[in-house]
Every structure is written in C-alpha cells, then in structure tokens.
C-alpha cells in the first residue's frame, strides 16, 4: 500500500473493520477517528509499534510483524 493515510482517509469514521494484512506497512497512523472500530487486522507487515487504539476495539490481529513491545489495554494478545 503506497499511502496508508489516503486509504484510511477514504474510510468512513463509522467503519467497524479495517483490514490491512500483507501491505508492507512499517507504521500505522492514528486510528482515533474510527469510533466504531471493532476489528483491526494488520498481520504480515513490518510494524514495529502501534498507535493508540480505539477503546471500541475487540479483536486485534497483528501476527508476523516486527513488534517488540506492545502497550495496550488488551490483557492477552497472541502474536504468532
């Protein structure tokens, strides 16, 4: 994906699922405007950190990235 900001800008703020798997992403911009976000899939990228995630998020798929430390409200995160 060439420009993640443009892609996210085109999504409605009411979006509930964002699918970003296999996009060679090295970062994610803020997702705070997605106030109904329930599922975020960003597996198989090159992410080293994640932005602050919306409190509405229920499922986070982040396997196969370059994450070393994950600061988030989730108590159990499976990183395969």
Span 39-43, average pLDDT: 96
Domain residues of the chain, as ranges?
1-80
pLDDT attached to residue 34:
97
CA distance 42 to 70: 14
Residue 67, pLDDT score? 86
Query: For residue 61, what are the contacts with CB-CB under 8 A and spacing of at least 6?
Result: 21, 39, 40, 41, 42, 43
Statement: residue 11 has pLDDT above 80 = yes
Reply yes or no on whether the pLDDT at 8 is more than 60: yes
Residue 10: pLDDT over 70: yes
Q: What is the pTM of this model?
A: 0.84
Alpha helices in the chain (DSSP H): 4-9
Q: If you ran DSSP here, which 8-state letter would residue 45 be given? A: S
Nearest to 19 by CA among 33, 32, 38, 47: 38
């Amino acid at each position: 994906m060439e420009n993640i900001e443009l892609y996210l800008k085109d999504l409605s703020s009411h979006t509930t699922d964002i699918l970003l798997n296999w996009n060679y992403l090295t970062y994610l911009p803020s997702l705070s405007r997605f106030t109904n976000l329930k599922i975020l899939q960003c597996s198989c990228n090159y992410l080293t950190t994640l932005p602050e995630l919306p409190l509405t998020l229920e499922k986070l798929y982040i396997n196969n990235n370059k994450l070393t430390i994950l600061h988030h409200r989730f108590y159990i995160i499976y990183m395969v």
